[in-house]
Structures are given as C-alpha cells and as structure tokens.
C-alpha cells in the first residue's frame, strides 16, 4: 500500500551535548542512522524530541539541519503543534520556509477545548499553510481526546492527510480507519500497538523503537501487508519486551538511555525530564542484551 509518509515514521530524539545544548553534528549522524534503519519519514521536535524545552530558534534550526541531512531520501515532518492556535499558525508558516515536507500537529493541551474548538483549531491552521499535515491524538498527555467524528471531519480537508493515533483505543482507531476518505492514513502512535492498528486498517507506525529496531519493525509491517501474518505476529511478540522497556518511565528518558548504552551517545534529557535512574538503567540493559538488531 502507498502512504504519503510511508509505513515507518520515526519520532526523533534531540541529541544534546554535556552542556545540554543541541549537538547538531550528532543530529546529522542520527539522521544517517535512521535512514539505514529503514525510516520513511522523520518527525523532528515532537514529544520524543523534547519539544516543550526547545526554543523556537532551536526548532527552526533543527528543521533545516534534518532536512539538509536527509538529502530528500525521507520526508521530514516538523513537530509544530501547541495549545495556542494563532501562535501555532505563525510558527507553522515559519517552519514551511525551512525545507520540511510536512507538519505534525498535536491536539491542544491543558485548555481542554470542546470538539468544535479542536476542529476549528486544526482547520484554521491547515487553511493557512500549504504543507500536508499529520494530526496527533495523545489524550494521555494532552487531557483531551480527538474523537472519531472530529477526526473524520478534519480528514475532509485537503492537506490534512494522516493521524498519529496514540489513544490506545482500538475501537476508536478502527472507526477512523473505516470512515476515513481515500488518501487519509492512520498511524499507530505506540510501537506496541502497531500490529493491532495494522489489522484495524492502519498503514504504519510513528515509532520511537525504530531508533534501534527500525529494520525489524519495517519487516513486520511488510510481512503483514504481504500476507505473511504469522511471521508478522512472531516479530511483534519478539519485540514486545523491548517496546515495554522503552516506557519504564517517561519517554524519551529510556530511549535516550538505550541509545547511549548502544554506543550512540545522544546525551541526557533537559529538565524537567531527568536521566534514567540507575535501577531502571540496569533493567533496560538486561532487556537490550537479549537483542541483536540489524
């Protein structure tokens, strides 16, 4: 099947140096790694990229650096959403000028807008930019759920082309897949839900585990769509302990630790996130030691 952003989208971490400044050389190395790991698209400065603690200047620079480093081999999406509609609109217009290929817009958080407010928020932004947009529904972080009916209304807008669904509600995800117009793609927002979401009609995953297990996840997705369901299930089962280990505490704390343990030094997270505690680090290493990723 053909999807605008491909089947494997990686939500990139943001590497920091020892002073917790963005390490742009490491950013370029990470882009190269993710290309080799099978990513079709990259999300920059999203949740996993620690967007709340990045300045606007840092984000815009990141968009340019990743776009240049990717060399057009993958699509680059800017994490550009916030809970301020006008500020988001203005930032998206700036992001458009950096060479990115699309925007990811998270549902407004903290305000708890009603569904009509969510619709007007996203539709106002979409009609003010030309880039394709992936919606991002993650009620566990935002405090508001983008309901099926609202998502399907938004899917009728030409440049709203996809949603990252991290509600964990397979019934809701199935209903979106069933009701969405042609050309609107539904992605799992959780690595552990990838195979169930594919079975419900989804097209792929916005993954964090793909930093290490990208080729394995890509193979699982390909096997599913090629009809080798048993093989896809076996890979899903094999990777599940790894997926769970990456969420032993708040993302991206364990992911950064996993990359550091694997030899890709990406630094620690910025406050208010903290380095992975020693006990959790030991548990994570025990899980990682069970795997040999391609």
Q: What is the pLDDT of residues 33-90, one digit of tens each?
A: 999 999 999 999 999 999 999 999 999 999 999 999 999 999 999 999 999 999 999 9
Residue 162 CA, chain-centre distance (Å), reads 12
Kind and range of the H or E run holding 218: helix 210-225
| CA 242 – CA 163 distance, rounded (Å) | 25
- Measured CA to CA in angstroms, residue 96 lies from 99, 103, 137, 293 at distances of 7, 9, 22, 35
Q: What is the pLDDT of residues 217-255, one digit of tens each?
A: 999 999 999 999 999 999 999 999 999 999 999 999 999
Instruction: Please choose, from the candidates 48, 32, 45, the residue with its C-alpha nearest in 3D space to the C-alpha of residue 205.
Output: 48
All domains in the chain, ordered by first residue: 8-226 (3.20.20.70)
| CA 22 – CA 5 distance, rounded (Å) | 26
Q: What is the pLDDT of residues 175-233, one digit of tens each?
A: 999 999 999 999 999 999 999 999 999 999 999 999 999 999 999 999 999 999 999 99
The answer, yes or no, to whether residue 136 has pLDDT greater than 50, is: yes
Q: Is 187 a catalytic residue?
A: no
What average pLDDT does the structure give for the chain? 97
| CA 178 – CA 43 distance, rounded (Å) | 26
Question: Do the strands 75-79 and 204-207 form a parallel or antiparallel pair, or are they unpaired?
Answer: unpaired
Across 273-281, average pLDDT: 97
| CA 245 – CA 149 distance, rounded (Å) | 34
The answer, yes or no, to whether residue 1 has pLDDT greater than 70, is: no
Which one of 136, 187, 218, 256 is the catalytic residue? Answer: 136
| Angle value at C-alpha 120, between 79 and 184, nearest 5 degrees | 60
- Do you know the residue count of the chain? 294
Q: What is the pLDDT of residues 107-126, one digit of tens each?
A: 999 999 999 999 999 999 99
Q: Is the peptide bond prior to 20 cis by the omega test (within 30 degrees of 0)?
A: no
| CA 187 – CA 174 distance, rounded (Å) | 11
Q: Is 136 a catalytic residue?
A: yes
Q: What is the pLDDT of residue 3?
A: 75
Which one of 164, 187, 218, 256 is the catalytic residue? Answer: 164
The answer, yes or no, to whether residue 105 has pLDDT greater than 60, is: yes
């Amino acid at each position: 099947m053909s999807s605008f952003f491909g089947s494997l989208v990686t939500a990139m971490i943001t590497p920091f140096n020892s002073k917790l400044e963005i390490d742009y050389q490491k950013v370029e190395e990470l882009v190269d790694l993710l290309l080799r790991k099978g990513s079709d698209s990259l999300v920059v400065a999203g949740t996993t990229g620690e967007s709340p603690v990045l300045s606007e200047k840092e984000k815009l620079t990141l968009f340019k650096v990743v776009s240049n480093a990717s060399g057009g081999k993958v699509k680059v999406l800017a994490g550009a959403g916030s809970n301020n509609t006008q500020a988001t609109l203005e930032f998206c217009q700036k992001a458009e000028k950096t060479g990115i290929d699309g925007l990811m817009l998270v549902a407004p958080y903290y305000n708890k807008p009603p569904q009509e407010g969510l619709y007007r928020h996203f539709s106002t932004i979409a009609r003010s930019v030309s880039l394709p947009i992936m919606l991002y529904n993650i009620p566990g972080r935002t405090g508001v759920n983008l309901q099926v009916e609202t998502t399907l209304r938004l899917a009728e807008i030409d440049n709203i082309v996809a949603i990252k669904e991290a509600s964990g509600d397979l019934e809701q995800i199935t209903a979106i897949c069933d009701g969405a117009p042609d050309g609107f793609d539904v992605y799992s927002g959780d690595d552990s839900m990838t195979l169930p979401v594919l079975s419900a009609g989804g097209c792929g995953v916005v993954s964090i585990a793909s930093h290490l297990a990208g080729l394995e996840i890509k193979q699982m997705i390909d096997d599913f769509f090629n009809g080798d369901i048993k093989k896809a299930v076996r890979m899903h089962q094999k990777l599940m302990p790894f997926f769970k280990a990456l969420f032993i505490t708040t993302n991206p704390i364990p992911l950064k630790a996993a990359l550091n343990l694997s030899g890709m030094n990406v630094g620690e997270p910025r406050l208010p996130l903290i380095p992975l505690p020693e006990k959790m680090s030991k548990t994570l290493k025990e899980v990682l030691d069970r795997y040999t990723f391609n």
